[in-house]
């Protein structure tokens, strides 16, 4: 698996290692099973995290990417806890988009609590816009690119999903992917500081959320997403 962007169908961008997996590992597994190439980008190395070292987190991120069968996992090395929508950050993200040329991009919702998630969402949204501009950052060999859609994770209770993806067939595999980030979750006997993620019932709660969302659409498990643009439906009968 590569650590530099290459052309893919789907690009998922998270602020920290494990953000992507917790938000949409089931959907990525499903898209991979459908034959789509997946690329992953972490904005930071998670170096401010209370558990695990940056080296631990890098190894875990690469293992999770392997379990997802991702084509690449890149890290932009922005400062954890201080992600900001600067011109430099936007330019780097534009180059990732132009190199990977995804059809769709997934990233954080702009109303999430963590400041890095909020600013990361803005970086990706601005980069999606600027990546299509002919005269922005005219790096030789990189052609402009416009993704078909920017889609946000719907992981917080205050965000109503626009649509759900049935992940029933990939539900158990999703949590196999997530547990690659072992340093972040509950480990009996660990002397590291407890965090929200490391509480003993955290993953049980996440599983319950997936099951609840599945029940909303009549399936066993689902993940939710938000799009801000209107959805075009060619055939309402077939769609519904």
Interval 77-91 mean pLDDT: 97
In this predicted structure, the answer to whether residue 230 has a pLDDT above a threshold of 80 is: yes
pLDDT confidence tier of residue 194, bands split at 50, 70 and 90: confident
Domain boundaries defined on the chain? 10-228
pLDDT digits (tens, 9 = 90+) for 195-209: 878 888 999 999 999
**CATH number for the domain whose boundaries are 10-228:** 3.40.50.10320
Q: Please check the confidence at residue 189 and state whether its pLDDT lies above 80.
A: no
Q: Is the pLDDT at 102 greater than 80, yes or no?
A: yes
pLDDT digits (tens, 9 = 90+) for 108-134: 999 999 999 999 999 999 999 999 999
Query: Among residues 153, 178, 157, which one has the least CA distance to residue 165?
Result: 153
Using pLDDT thresholds of 50, 70 and 90, give the confidence band for residue 90: very high
User: What is the pLDDT, as a whole number, of residue 237?
Assistant: 87
């Amino acid at each position: 698996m590569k650590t530099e962007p290459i052309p893919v169908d789907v690009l998922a961008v998270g602020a920290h290692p494990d953000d992507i997996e917790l938000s949409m590992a089931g959907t990525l597994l499903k898209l991979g099973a459908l034959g789509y190439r997946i690329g992953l980008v972490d904005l930071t190395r998670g170096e401010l995290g209370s558990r695990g070292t940056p080296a631990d987190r890098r190894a875990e991120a690469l293992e999770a990417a392997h379990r997802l069968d991702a084509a690449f996992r890149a890290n932009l090395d922005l400062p954890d806890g201080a992600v900001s929508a600067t011109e430099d950050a936007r330019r780097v993200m534009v180059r990732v988009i132009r190199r990977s040329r995804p059809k769709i991009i997934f990233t954080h919702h702009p109303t999430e609590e963590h400041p890095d998630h909020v600013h990361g969402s803005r970086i990706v949204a601005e980069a999606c816009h600027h990546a299509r501009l002919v005269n922005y950052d005219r790096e030789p060999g990189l052609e402009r690119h416009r993704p078909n859609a920017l889609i946000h994770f719907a992981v917080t209770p205050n965000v109503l999903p626009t649509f759900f993806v049935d992940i029933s067939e990939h539900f158990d595999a999703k949590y196999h992917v997530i547990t690659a980030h072992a340093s972040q979750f509950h480990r009996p006997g660990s002397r590291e500081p407890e965090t929200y993620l490391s509480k003993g019932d955290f993953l049980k709660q996440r599983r319950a959320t997936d099951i609840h969302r599945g029940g909303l659409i009549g399936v066993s498990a689902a993940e939710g997403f938000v799009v801000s643009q209107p959805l075009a439906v060619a055939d309402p009968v077939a769609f519904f």
